[in-house]
């Protein structure tokens, strides 16, 4: 007896993607168009990938700082289908992406309010999460994209456990001159351990290379 | 000789205690024990349009995994989830992928080549994920057969390696 099976949309799409990949006329183009039919999408630019940048490391922790060019930010958020108006709001600011790893401590506390951006004696105020909802309303950014944006920001507070890492963007107003980032980290489950301080000097908001 | 039977409960208790300590001490790297609070609501549709509700998943463990294609560790981890997917009976461990706020085309473009056996749930606006409050992406929660949050895996983990497979097998054999 022949049994008819309902093919689910997921299975049908898999089957179609396989067919397109195996068809010579389409195979060479599948990866280039980057649509849903392409079985292999181009690798996205991710804020948490790790190109070279200022770096600090000791036995207990490591920190790498990545500065994103406007082109990199545009490519990343356009790739996530953000609209141009939203991307313009992002490019008005300066994104710094630290990547932190707790190598050996029981708990390493990430607390963005314990970090300071400065130029000489002048403190540069950090742009916090509550800055963005008004900007997204003005730009007409969909809720899904607002959610994605939130996940690309560094958490405000995180008790980083042994071998836990975190990466994300910290935002300040655009700066034309170099600045210093002073990071303080409490340690220990009760935050009563020694405070670790890491300083990065001469950081710059980057522009596109000519 | 006559004292031996009287000692048996004590010996058994000590063995049980040692066994529990060994289990507690043998959590694989990056697995946190949670406090057992109830799992937040989770009712979403998958890419086939079928609804999935965690409240209907009582009686077995659930591997609840939050991810997105733009997240590098998520992309590196996904093949290991595909690798373990066929190894577990969904009546013992159900593996559930939740994509965070991406389009079907984006999700399909990645998952079809990396984890074609798993039809993901789509958290289209990202709000369900925010209720679960993962510590970033990717994140995996283990929900016990009573619907309680028991463990959280920090970041991407190599699920197809012995330490993690043994951990999962230990859970479902309880």
Average pLDDT, chain A: 83
Mean pLDDT, chain B, as a whole number?
89
Task: Judge if A17 and A66 occupy the same domain.
Answer: no
Average pLDDT over residues B58-63: 97
β partners of residue A56: A63
Same domain, A37 and A87: no
Gap from B118 CA to chain A (nearest CA, Å): 9
Domains and CATH numbers, chain B: 28-172 (3.40.30.10)
Q: What is the DSSP string of B71-116?
A: -HHHHHHHHHHHHHGGGS-TTTEEEEEEEES--HHHHHHHHHHH-T
CA angle A120, A125, A127 (to 5 degrees): 145
Q: What is the DSSP string of A132-143?
A: HHHHHHHHT--H
> Are A147 and A177 in a shared domain?
yes
Distance in Å from the first CA to the final CA of chain A = 69
Alpha helices in A23-165 (DSSP H): 24-33, 70-79, 84-91, 132-139, 143-152
- Domain co-membership, A114 together with A145: yes
Kindly state whether residue A2 falls inside one of the protein's structural domains. no
User: For chain B, how many helices (H) and strands (E)?
Assistant: 5, 8
Are residues A103 and A143 both part of a single domain? yes
Q: Which of A81, A41, A60, A63 is nearest to A194 (CA)?
A: A60
Whole-angstrom Cα distance, residue B131 to residue B139? 13
The answer to whether residue A162 sits within a structural domain is yes
Which tens digit of pLDDT belongs to each residue from A81-106? Answer: 999 999 999 999 999 999 999 999 99
* The residue to which tokens 């995996």 are assigned: B140
Instruction: State whether A13 and A63 are in the same domain.
Output: no
Domain match, A149 and A97 both: yes
Domain assignment present for residue A49? The answer is no
CATH of the domain at A144: 2.60.40
Task: For chain B, say whether A20 makes contact (Cβ under 8 Å).
Answer: no
Does residue A117 fall inside a structural domain? yes
Work out the percent of chain B whose per-residue pLDDT is above 70.
86
> Taking CB atoms and an 8 Å limit, are B102 and A144 in contact across chains?
yes
| d(C-alpha A3, C-alpha A18), whole Å | 24
Confidence check: pLDDT of B5 > 90: no
**Residue A141, domain extent:** 55-203
Mind listing the pLDDT tens digit for each residue in B76-129?
999 999 999 999 999 999 999 999 999 999 999 999 999 999 999 999 999 999
Is residue A130 included in any domain, yes or no? yes
Which B positions 109-168 lie with beta carbon below 8 A of chain A?
Answer: 109-110, 112-113, 116, 119, 124-127, 129-130, 135-137, 154-155
Q: Are A36 and A129 within one domain?
A: no
Residue A150 has pLDDT above 60, yes or no: yes
Q: Looking at the complex, does the CB of residue A147 fall below 8 Å from at least one CB of chain B?
A: yes
Q: What pLDDT sits at residue A158?
A: 96
In a domain, A1, yes or no: no
Task: Tell me: do A83 and A154 sit in the same domain.
Answer: yes
For residue A47, pLDDT over 50 is answered with no
Question: What's the structural domain count of chain A?
Answer: 2
Regarding whether A175 and A85 lie in a shared domain, the answer is yes
Asked whether residue A172 falls in the same domain as residue A128, the answer is: yes
Q: Answer yes or no: is pLDDT of B141 > 50.
A: yes
């Amino acid at each position: 007896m022949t049994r008819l099976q309902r093919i689910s949309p997921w299975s049908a799409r898999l089957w179609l993607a396989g067919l397109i990949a195996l068809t010579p006329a389409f195979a060479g183009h599948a990866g280039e168009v980057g649509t849903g039919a392409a079985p292999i999408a181009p690798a996205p630019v991710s804020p948490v990938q790790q190109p070279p940048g200022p770096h600090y490391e000791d036995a207990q922790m490591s920190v790498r700082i990545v500065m994103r060019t406007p082109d990199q930010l545009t490519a990343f958020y356009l790739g996530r289908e953000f609209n141009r108006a939203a991307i313009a709001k992002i490019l008005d600011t300066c994104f710094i992406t630290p990547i932190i790893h707790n190598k050996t401590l029981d708990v390493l506390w990430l607390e963005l309010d314990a970090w300071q951006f400065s130029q000489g004696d002048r403190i540069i105020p950090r742009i916090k999460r509550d800055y963005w909802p008004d900007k997204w309303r003005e730009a007409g950014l969909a809720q899904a994209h607002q959610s994605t944006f939130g996940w690309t920001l560094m958490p405000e507070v995180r008790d980083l456990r042994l071998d836990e890492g975190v990466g994300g963007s910290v935002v300040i107003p655009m700066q034309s001159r170099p600045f210093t980032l002073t990071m303080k980290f409490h340690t220990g489950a009760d935050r009563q351990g020694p405070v670790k301080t890491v300083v990065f000097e001469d950081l710059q908001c980057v522009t596109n290379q000519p | 000789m006559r004292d031996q039977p009287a000692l048996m409960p004590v010996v058994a208790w000590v063995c049980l205690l040692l066994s529990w300590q060994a289990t507690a001490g043998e959590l694989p790297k990056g697995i946190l024990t949670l406090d057992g609070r109830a799992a937040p609501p989770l009712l979403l549709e998958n890419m086939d349009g079928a609804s999935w509700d965690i409240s209907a998943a009582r009686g077995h463990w659930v591997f609840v995994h939050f991810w997105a294609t733009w997240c590098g560790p998520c992309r590196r981890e996904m093949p290991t989830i595909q690798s373990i997917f066929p190894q577990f009976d969904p009546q013992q461990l159900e593996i559930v992928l939740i994509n965070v706020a991406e389009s079907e085309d984006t999700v399909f473009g990645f998952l079809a080549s990396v984890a074609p056996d798993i039809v993901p749930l789509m958290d289209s606006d990202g709000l369900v994920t925010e209720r679960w409050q993962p510590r970033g992406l990717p994140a995996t929660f283990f929900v016990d057969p009573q619907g309680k949050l028991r463990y959280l895996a920090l970041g991407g983990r190599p699920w197809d390696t012995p330490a993690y497979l043994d951990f999962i097998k230990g859970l479902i054999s309880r």
